[in-house]
A and B are shown apart, each in its own frame.
Chain A
Amino acid sequence: MMKKLTPVIEWGTLLLSTGTVCFFMVVILWDIISKGAPSLSWQFVSTLPKAGMTQGGILPAITGTVLLTLITALVAAPFGICCAVYLNEYASDNWFTRLIRAAIRNLTGVPSIIYGLFGLALFVQALHLGTSLLAAGFTLGLLSLPYMITTTEEALRRIPASTREAALAIGATQLESIRDVVLPSALPGILTGVVLTLSRAAGETAPILFTGVAFYINNPAGFLNQEFMALPYHLYMLSTQHQAIEQVRPLAYGTALVLIIVVFLLNLTAFYVRYKYSRHE
């Protein structure tokens, strides 16, 4: 009897831990979707907040997050791709390369709030950008850089050496081979990495706390040198700092749902690019 039961218990332990992890995920999704969906409407995503945030929509927070993510991409993608190209195409194994790699690994582990402090000291104060969309975008760009480099390098590594040798053999310089052959064939992989990195940046709150985010901006357009609203910060304020917390709870749920939809849409895009690419191979 015991002998028959033992494998069941053993197997059950592992199944239980896996089940618990899935349970967490289901609770997170179910709670946010079921309670956020009633607040979701065209009016919610297309109008300004009204009556001290207790009514109206979250349009400025959506446009703020979109603009912020765009600036992050403009900062992190060119630098990240160039650095990955250097590491994968040019660098030999010497102390300089090892130093860059060590720096990237350490930057990946730096807590996001410390990026926030760095952005405050460097962009807001030293470079006199003030608390602004630009300063926050630059800060998130720095935070995203190590991920951008790692994912791009992985994409470049998948391109076989023979591809590069073929380009060099017909007389292309190394730059021409990279520009016309290596980068185009690695493009889907690079894009996947860029989009995944941006989905992470879009949900970050800590780095933008002191670099430019604001609770209420009465203007959806957004200017580079002004403060802005963002979805994650809006959710934070609605759920902890608002004077009528219970009253704005539906709005908080709606904001959480919109934020999750934005992040998952970016992830789905990356997933789709990767899927399409892997089928072509």
Chain B
Amino acid sequence: MKLALRENIDRTAKWVFRATGIVVIAILAGIFFMLMWNTIAFFLKIKPLDFITGTQWNPSGGQARYGILPLLVSTCLVTLGAMAIAIPLGIGTAAFLSEYAGKRLKNILKPLIEMLAAVPSVAIGFLGIVVLGPGIAGLTQQANGLNALNGAILLAVMSLPTIITVAEDALQGIPGTYKEASYGVGATKWQTLIRVTIPAAAPGILAAVMLGVGRAIGETMTVLMATGNAAAFPKGFFHSVRTITATIAIEMGEVPYETTHYYALFAIAAVLFLVTLIINMIGEYFVNKYRKYHSA
């Protein structure tokens, strides 16, 4: 092949590769504009204030109500519950793996945690119905255990692998000199972990928590199956709740195209999108801060 031809092919290829980068940007822009477009269409029919402050979500009633508050509070409730369980467990496990576990134990535990990450969300939701639900029902004397607590425990299980992996990386990244200095002034292993290693790894651990929160908020199938999906305003952990993701999953299949209800589902999806975007950005900020801090 002539050199000129080869160089032409080479130049064309570069543009083809660059075009795939543009595709990636276009997908994110496409998702953003799809959500915005439909949300604007929704706000032309329903006042934004009614949407944000409304305490009732009842699109199919005689007088349709599109208040996002019950869904948003449900999502926050389940996510908070999940984090209350997953953060201590996750950090504890990460600390055990990074500071105490020997190499052989680590070689068993790490694949086990990776396996947990690989279990599909629908399988976890199924176990929420058949194992955890009856368990909670037995403890609380309720008819079934499909409530916010059930969803929170399942989401904790699902976000644990993320939290453990990222937090362990953060702990491993702390230079050995920090710990040696701490041992040198007479601190025990535990005191070093609590007062030196974990504070030094705090940005990385915060990033781990943020990624876990992002995963929990956006999760659909587990909460759809395990939380009972009552559309009323959430009353607490032992009551049925219905998150933003579950509402979209339940109602999108049945709503007619381009009705107010259809647009409303895109509007709550836009809220979900913004919330996860902000949380992931905070997480990323801490990851970068951590990286700068330790490369300096």
Q: Do A and B bind each other?
A: yes
| A interface residues, Cβ below 8 angstroms from B | 6-7, 10-11, 13-18, 20-22, 24-25, 27-28, 31-32, 79, 82-83, 85-87, 89-91, 96-97, 99-100, 103-118, 120-122, 125, 142, 145-146, 149, 173-176, 199-200, 202-206, 209-210, 232-233, 235-236, 239-240, 249, 252-253, 256, 259-260, 263-264, 267, 271
Contact of A28 among B99, B124, B252 (CB under 8 A): B124
Indicate if the CB atoms of A239 and B225 lie closer than 8 Å. yes
Query: B85: nearest residue on chain A (CB-CB)?
Result: A20
Indicate if the CB atoms of A206 and B225 lie closer than 8 Å. no
Contact of B252 among A24, A117, A176 (CB under 8 A): A117
A14-B95, A175-B13, A209-B249 given; A249·B130 CB < 8 A: yes
Which A residues lie within 8 Å of B253 (CB)? Answer: 209-210
Q: How far is the CB of A102 from chain B (nearest CB, A)?
A: 9
Asked whether B131 is an interface residue with its Cβ less than 8 Å from the other chain, the reply is yes
Which B residues lie within 8 Å of A256 (CB)? Answer: 123, 126
Q: Is the interface of B mostly helix, strand, loop or mixed?
A: helix
A32-B123, A82-B20, A109-B280 given; A205·B100 CB < 8 A: no
Q: Can you list 14 pairs linking A and B with CB atoms under 8 Å apart?
A: A17-B90, A20-B89, A31-B127, A31-B130, A32-B127, A82-B17, A103-B27, A111-B219, A112-B220, A113-B249, A117-B265, A117-B269, A145-B27, A239-B126
Query: A146: nearest residue on chain B (CB-CB)?
Result: B24
Contact of B9 among A21, A85, A175, A233 (CB under 8 A): A175
Asked whether B109 is an interface residue with its Cβ less than 8 Å from the other chain, the reply is yes
Q: Is the interface of A mostly helix, strand, loop or mixed?
A: helix
| B interface residues, Cβ below 8 angstroms from A | 6-7, 9-10, 13-14, 16-18, 20-21, 23-25, 27-28, 30-31, 34-35, 38, 88-93, 95-97, 99-101, 109, 111-116, 118-127, 129-131, 157, 160, 164, 188-190, 214, 217-221, 224-225, 245, 248-249, 252-253, 257, 265-266, 269, 272-273, 276-277, 279-280, 284
Q: How far is the CA of A14 from the CA of B99 in the complex (A)?
A: 10
Indicate if the CB atoms of A86 and B21 lie closer than 8 Å. yes
